[in-house]
Amino acid sequence: MTQSPPDAQRWIQETESHVRAQLLGEGSGHDWWHIERVRTNALLIAREEAVDLVVVELAALLHDIADHKFHDGDDTVGPRVARAWLESIGVDEGTIAHVCDIIATLSFKGAGTSSQMRSREGMVVQDADRLDAIGAIGIARTFAYGGHANREIYNPDIPPVQHASFEEYKTNSSPTINHFHEKLLLLKDRMNTRTARRIAEGRHRFMKTFLDQFHREWNGDA
């Protein structure tokens, strides 16, 4: 782990306050508590990785400060907003560039695409974000976003699609249950770190159990 800059604690504290003020009470599942869980998981995973903890924590805090889903699919807005904030509190350019590169690469971009992180710090934050997308909390967040986006819960006449490009994935508006097959069930095998892979196993099993029960009830079998 690298030595933290003298102002690192101030950067983190100010960023935490800023992000909390922006996202507390948000109702789509991309709220402050999602950010806090991602930060907690990122710092947990980072214990077993040789990483810059300041970069990890800042990236975790800022990764959803301007999500493309809420900005007409513009995946450049998140890094821009994060950069403007970090510059305003005096963060050095090397740290800013690293954090913004993580934010730009973080998102899942479709089953047929790859979003390979270029640093261990990025891998840690990406894993932490993906862990919060699966398991019991992931299920809750999926339906929260589905309601926010006015999507059907399920429609057996609309099959899941394995999107071949980020553009296809961004413009998708299929029922919420499809999202499990189009993204969430794929995440276990896309974890970067050993710690995240271990945690993901149990959360993945829980999602499969939920889906089995959902379809039994849908079909009148339970």
In a domain, 101, yes or no: yes
In a domain, 144, yes or no: yes
How many structural domains is the chain composed of? 1
CATH code of the domain covering residue 99: 1.10.3210.50
Q: What is Dmax (Cα atoms) for the chain?
A: 62
Amino acid at 156: P
* Interval 4-52: pLDDT, tens: 788 999 999 999 999 999 999 998 889 999 999 999 999 999 999 999 9
Tell which residue, 12, 94, 93, has the closest CA to residue 59.
Answer: 12
In a domain, 104, yes or no: yes
pLDDT attached to residue 79? 93
Domain holding 13, by residue range, is: 8-218
In a domain, 61, yes or no: yes
In a domain, 44, yes or no: yes
pTM for the model = 0.91
Least confident segment among 45-59, 72-86, 194-208: 72-86
74 vs 177, more confident: 177
pLDDT at 166 over 70: no
In a domain, 66, yes or no: yes
In a domain, 2, yes or no: no
Least confident segment among 93-97, 158-162, 205-209: 158-162
* Interval 97-123: pLDDT, tens: 999 999 999 976 555 566 678 999 999
